[in-house]
Amino acid sequence: MFETIIVGNTETGRTEAEIADESGKRVAVVYEGSNGWHTELLGDWVNQAPASLDTFIENAKEVLSHYVNRRGDNVPGGLTVGALSLWLMVKDDGTAMGKKL
């Protein structure tokens, strides 16, 4: 019913999990900020989120916890937009987007 997509969002400066429904429409965004985890429900889902969405949100937090720069803290200076996105996608196993760095 739902799909989770991890993105390095250069506009917000953080790594986010976007949860989409079966049509591809985003229904929630999950991220970690300096004051903890946040979930933004989008559109009609604010009032009618099914219990199964909670499972996807918790799973998204677990997946995001492996992205070492997910909060966007201490961004190196001089990065291009592409380099910033890649920096946000670095995982604790030394990979980014499936490639060893």
For CA atoms 64, 65, 67, 69, the dihedral sign is positive
Asked whether the predicted pLDDT for residue 97 surpasses 90, the reply is no
The 10s digit of each residue's pLDDT in 11-68 is: 999 999 999 988 999 999 999 999 999 999 988 766 676 778 889 999 999 999 999 9
Give domain limits for the chain: 2-100
Residue 3 has pLDDT above 80, yes or no: yes
With a cut of 70, say whether residue 83 has pLDDT above it: yes
How confident is the model at residue 43, as a pLDDT?
A: 82
Provide the pLDDT for residue 18: 97
pLDDT of 47: 67
C-alpha dihedral over 56, 59, 60, 61, to 10 degrees? Answer: 130
